[in-house]
Amino acid sequence: MADTIKCPNCAANLMFEPSSGKLECAYCGGSFDPAKFEAVVDELTAEPVKKEAVPGETAAEPAGEPETSEEDDNPLKEDAEDSMQFTCKSCGGTIVSSANTSASFCPFCGSPALIGDRLTGEFKPRFLIPFKYSKESAEGAFLKWCKGGRWTPVKFVSQENIEKITGLYVPFWLFDVDYQLDVNSECRKDSVSHSGNKTTTTMRYYDVTNSGKYMWRKIPFDGETRIDDALMEAIEPYNYSQLIPYDYKYIPGFFADKYDQNVEALKERAIKRIKGYQGVKFKELTKKYDSVKIKQDNSRITHMEAHYALLPVWFLSYKYLGKYYYFAMNGQTGEVAGIRPISRVKGLVLFMTLLSILACLVRLALGIYLSGVAG
């Protein structure tokens, strides 16, 4: 059963607003701190305020949010056989969402429906970072990133496409890794001396052992196969000082996916990245030598664990000439990344314009040359 978070003042649906960091009601203007929401509800419930009905007055219905939809060819949309069906508590309508979607919108009344059973048990995150940037900020960042769409297809920067920018809590695994460095290598140090016209290079060899314990914390890997890993890495890092225990009250108004890659599936990527980090560290330790030859490497990972978290991303996908292009914005820091499509029509216009300019220059140069010959 899909659920919502209701305003304790008027019972309309609350939405989390990144710009204020609060649950806000579009109907009565109520604003609530998610961390203190239960206390407010308890207080209002304990001392309910009764209001006498005014003859002839009818209660207004809570304002619903605009209906949202997805394109049929959106790569984030699952096949029909992978869909699940839920009932909206607000209007009784049926919600059909992908098997991985944890929060969605009712297609009938716009209610920010919460599918609570998706984020329980093994799929309940341990941590979450709330959105700090609003949709308006994401739209502005998208237009700036496109640079006005000078070379992009017209529809890529159309208002219809911009409105499809979606706030998505992406499932991430945050790895904590302890690493024991233990490398024995033959290192060479060169020294150069000059005597008259003679230059002498002296090479000294050293048997060097580098060892030490290193710890990396909260290395992020997205657990969603439908989103490009490189795109998610490009909008890192997140400020983990703002990581909070998972609280469902930050979800309304956004989508949230559960992971489809567990820790075991991501271990190989994590180990590869750690080895890359340690390779950089080893180079720093041995940079004073002119040559380093590793003889024995007994380095190893001594401890590894991962924590499940939801991290905020503004996301847009666009299909152009059979290929998908993506834009992503870190919902906490504002960092953006993506690949822009290049319009073939605009490219052809540019080519023809440059060709015309080149032809004019050639004619001008030829005219000057012929005038000189005739003179």
pTM of the prediction?
A: 0.74
Give the rounded distance of the alpha carbon of 183 from its chain centre.
Answer: 37
Q: What is the structure's pLDDT at 349?
A: 52
Q: How far apart are alpha carbons 163 and 316 in whole angstroms?
A: 9
Tens-digit pLDDT profile for residues 54-85: 555 444 444 444 444 444 444 444 444 456 67
104-113, 194-203, 244-253: least confidently modelled range: 104-113
- Give me the mean pLDDT over the 307-320 stretch: 90
Phi, psi of 128 (to 5 degrees): -160, 145
The DSSP call for residue 334 is: -
Q: Which helix (H) or strand (E) holds 167?
A: strand 166-195
d(Cα 119, Cα 128) in Å, to the nearest integer?
Answer: 12
**For residue 220, pLDDT beyond 90:** yes
pLDDT tens-digit readout, 119-177: 777 888 999 999 999 999 999 999 888 875 566 777 777 787 788 888 999 999 999 99
Q: What is the pLDDT of residue 11?
A: 86
Judged against a pLDDT cut of 50, whether residue 102 lies above it is answered with yes
Instruction: Calculate mean pLDDT across residues 347-362.
Output: 63
pLDDT value at position 374? 63
Averaged pLDDT score across all residues of the chain: 81
Judged by average pLDDT, the poorest of 199-208, 231-240, 251-260, 354-363 is: 354-363
| Residue 297: pLDDT over 80 | yes
Query: Element (H or E) spanning 327, and its range?
Result: strand 323-330
Question: Which burial class, exposed, middle or buried, applies to 215 when counting CB atoms under 10 A from its CB (0-12, 13-18, 19+)?
Answer: exposed
Residue bearing the bigger pLDDT, 218 or 60: 218
pLDDT for position 65: 44
pLDDT per residue over 222-267, tens digit each? 998 888 899 999 999 999 999 999 998 999 889 888 898 999 999 9
Kindly state the average pLDDT of the residues 203-214: 94
Measured CA to CA in angstroms, residue 228 lies from 75, 92, 222, 241, 281 at distances of 11, 36, 9, 25, 28
What integer is the mean pLDDT of 320-339? 90
Q: What is the pLDDT of residue 72?
A: 45
Q: Can you give the three-state secondary structure of 233-299, one letter per residue?
A: HHCCCCCHHHCEECCHHHCCCCEEECCCCCHHHHHHHHHHHHHHHHHHHHHHHCCCCCEEEEEEECC
Q: Where is pLDDT greater, at 79 or 39? A: 39
- Kind plus residue range of the DSSP H or E element containing 368: helix 344-374
Q: Which has more confidence, 172 or 35?
A: 172
Taking the C-alpha atoms of residue 69 and residue 163, their distance in angstroms, rounded to an integer, is 10
In the predicted structure, residue 18 carries a pLDDT above the cut 90: yes
| In the predicted structure, residue 103 carries a pLDDT above the cut 90 | no
Under the banding of pLDDT at 50, 70 and 90, the label for residue 47 is low
Residue written as token pair 């056989």? 81
Least reliable range by pLDDT among 72-86, 180-194, 211-225: 72-86
* Confidence label for 339 from pLDDT (cuts 50, 70 and 90): confident
E-strand ranges in 11-124 read: 14-17, 22-25, 31-32, 83-87, 94-98, 101-103
SS3 149: helix
